[in-house]
């Protein structure tokens, strides 16, 4: 598959991407984790895509999984409406503000932000905090 972005063409091995996504989803859903943070390195390092395309596409990829997980939690009754009502406007706002910032930030900086996020998650998993 060829991905076009800002006048450049990127050749992407879709099979590799789907296989990677499949494996990541298996592994992260074993313990109730969202696959999001693993998807970003897959696309940048594994598929060689520029960061700008990666952010939107990875959000799209994990969207379906998150939706299924949401329905599952809802059926198990783990949902507090008031709590959700507090965080819901913040989430929507975040979804609007985020891309506005992404537009103005260089791809290098965006990648470094993602690196920071990954490191935070890694430290969390390793028990540092």
CB of 2 to another protein, least distance (A): 10
CB of 105 to another protein, least distance (A): 8
State the number of binding residues for another protein (CB under 8 A). 112
What single-letter DSSP state applies at residue 12?
Answer: -
The CA dihedral of 88, 27, 40, 96, to the nearest 10 degrees, is -10
What residues between 18 and 47 interact with another protein by CB under 8 A? 18-41, 43-45
Is residue 13 part of the contact set for another protein (CB under 8 A)?
Answer: no
Ramachandran category for residue 65: left, alpha or beta (phi over 0 → left; psi -120 to 50 → alpha): alpha
CB of 46 to another protein, least distance (A): 9
Q: Mark 61-100 with x for binding to another protein (rule: CB under 8 A) and - for no binding.
A: xxxxxxxxxxxxxxxxxxxxxxxx-xxxxxxxxxxxxxxx
State how far the alpha carbon of 129 is from the alpha carbons of 3, 27, 37, in Å.
39, 22, 17
């Amino acid at each position: 598959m060829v991905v076009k972005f800002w006048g450049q063409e990127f050749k992407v091995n879709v099979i590799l991407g789907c296989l990677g996504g499949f494996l990541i989803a298996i592994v992260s859903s074993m313990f109730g984790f969202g696959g999001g943070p693993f998807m970003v390195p897959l696309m940048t390092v594994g598929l060689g895509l520029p960061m700008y395309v990666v952010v939107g596409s990875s959000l799209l990829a994990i969207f379906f999984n998150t939706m299924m997980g949401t329905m599952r939690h809802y059926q198990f009754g783990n949902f507090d409406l008031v709590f959700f009502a507090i965080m819901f406007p913040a989430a929507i706002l975040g979804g609007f503000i985020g891309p506005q910032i992404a537009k103005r930030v260089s791809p290098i900086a965006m990648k470094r932000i993602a690196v920071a996020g990954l490191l935070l998650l890694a430290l969390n998993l390793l028990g540092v905090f």
